[in-house]
Amino acid sequence: MRARQRNNRRGPLVRSLTAATTALAVAAVLAGCSSGGSTTATSSSSPSAAATAASFPVTVAASNGKVTVKSAPKRIVSLSPTATEDLYAVGAGRQVVAVDSDSNYPSNAPVTKLSGLTPNVEAIIKYSPDLVVASADSGGLVAQLTKVGVPVLIEPAVTKLDDAYDQIQQIGTATGHRAQARQTVTSMKSAIAADVAKAGTAHKGLSYYWEVSANPYYSVTSQTFIGQIVSLFGLKNIADAADKASDGGYPQLSQEYIVTAKPQLILLSDNSAADGGQSPAVVAKRPGWSGVPAVKNSQIVGLDDDIASRWGPRLPQLVAQIAQALEKAPAQ
């Protein structure tokens, strides 16, 4: 996902990608994209409140190391849109007292002026949190909150699907909802597998261009999280040949390069007004693009930019959108 993820909201991935309009920003966001590993707990949790309470303390191996949560958290603050979605997906929504200004899903999340990019510890502490979840240790967040006894889980943007699943299970363990977290992951895996299987291999080798931003044009390679998601369908990424080590998987492409590469499918993750408003109609009118197969055959798809910039429980919806786009694309 990427810099455009402003910590994962696009404000992928921060307005998850307009912030991604610079290669430096992109590389920075994905620099350490891994979820951190498995979780451990002193005992397994159960559906009852008593059993859940008895399962604490728990220790979670997050990106910032082993974090111990001494008792079931009752006041959780989320500074990451993806973490916010994870929390509600595993059943911890009632424990969430505040989320950052970029968290916009689910609609009943308690949105505040808190920032995940430039966190204000004093402002966070005013919510009396007993657990804070963020996507980065910005401004010494972990050290400052640890001093006042507040455990912090750092769950950064991921580069692998398994890492996304791990983060959901880590959050489930840390909040006392291990069983529901497992169910969430199982459901995600099942939905994704079903869409990939339904698409089959008819479009294997079809070339595509994923647009992160326009003017300048930034894309994703197959090595990124998004690239790996699309690769599930066996598609060929035109950005791979242009990638450089310094790009971090998000190369800046010239208009000439894109037109010459002749992508058969164009996927837009910058189609919202906040991210540039690059709709299929706008792309079709770009000077010199009329000969691009995707333009010529009306194979330009505007994706839900929020879903395309996050790595949480709505991933199956992104996979479904790609699968639906392929239903209308030419077979190979």
Question: What ranges in 251-313 are assigned the alpha helix state H?
Answer: 255-261, 280-284, 293-296, 305-308
Best CA proximity match to 118, nearest among 100, 93, 145: 100
Residue 100 lies in a domain: yes
Residue 277 lies in a domain: no
Please say if the pLDDT value at position 2 is more than 70: no
Best CA proximity match to 4, nearest among 169, 195, 226, 223: 226
Q: Give the Cα separation of 183 and 89 in Å (integer).
A: 10
Residue 222 lies in a domain: no
Mean pLDDT computed over every residue of the chain: 86
User: What Å distances lie between residue 136 and 78, 210, 321, CA to CA?
Assistant: 12, 26, 29
By the 8 A CB rule, do 72 and 172 touch?
no
Q: Give the Cα separation of 212 and 6 in Å (integer).
A: 13
Residue 113 lies in a domain: yes
By the 8 A CB rule, do 251 and 284 touch?
no
- Say what the pLDDT of residue 144 is: 98
Give the range of the structural domain holding residue 164, as residue numbers without chain letter: 43-190
pLDDT band at residue 69 under the 50/70/90 scheme: very high
Lookup result for tokens 């200004």:
101
Residue 253 lies in a domain: no
Determine how many CB atoms are found less than 10 A away from the CB of residue 196.
16
3-state class of 238 per DSSP? Answer: coil
Residue 106 lies in a domain: yes
Give pLDDT tens digits for 16-68.
433 333 333 333 333 333 333 333 333 333 344 544 666 899 999 999 999 99
What is the H or E stretch that residue 92 is in? none
Q: Give the Cα separation of 33 and 161 in Å (integer).
A: 11
pLDDT band at residue 239 under the 50/70/90 scheme: very high
Residue 128 lies in a domain: yes
Stated length of the chain: 332
The full DSSP string for 154-188 is E-PPPSSHHHHHHHHHHHHHHHT-HHHHHHHHHHH
Q: Give the Cα separation of 53 and 27 in Å (integer).
A: 41
CATH number for position 104: 3.40.50.1980
Give pLDDT tens digits for 249-271.
999 999 999 999 999 999 999 98
3-state class of 34 per DSSP? Answer: coil
Please say if the pLDDT value at position 332 is more than 90: no
Q: Give the Cα separation of 174 and 92 in Å (integer).
A: 10
- For 146, the token pair is 């640890």
- Helix and strand element counts for the chain (H, E): 13, 13
Determine how many CB atoms are found less than 10 A away from the CB of residue 76.
26
pLDDT band at residue 14 under the 50/70/90 scheme: very low
pTM of the full structure: 0.84
Q: Which amino acid is at 153?
A: L
- Beta bridge mates, 58: 41, 69
By the 8 A CB rule, do 189 and 164 touch?
no
Residue 161 lies in a domain: yes
Domain count, the chain: 1
Q: Give the Cα separation of 203 and 161 in Å (integer).
A: 22
Dihedral angle at the C-alpha atoms of 31, 210, 218, 295, nearest 10 degrees? 180
Q: Lowest-pLDDT range, 15-29, 67-81, 130-144?
A: 15-29
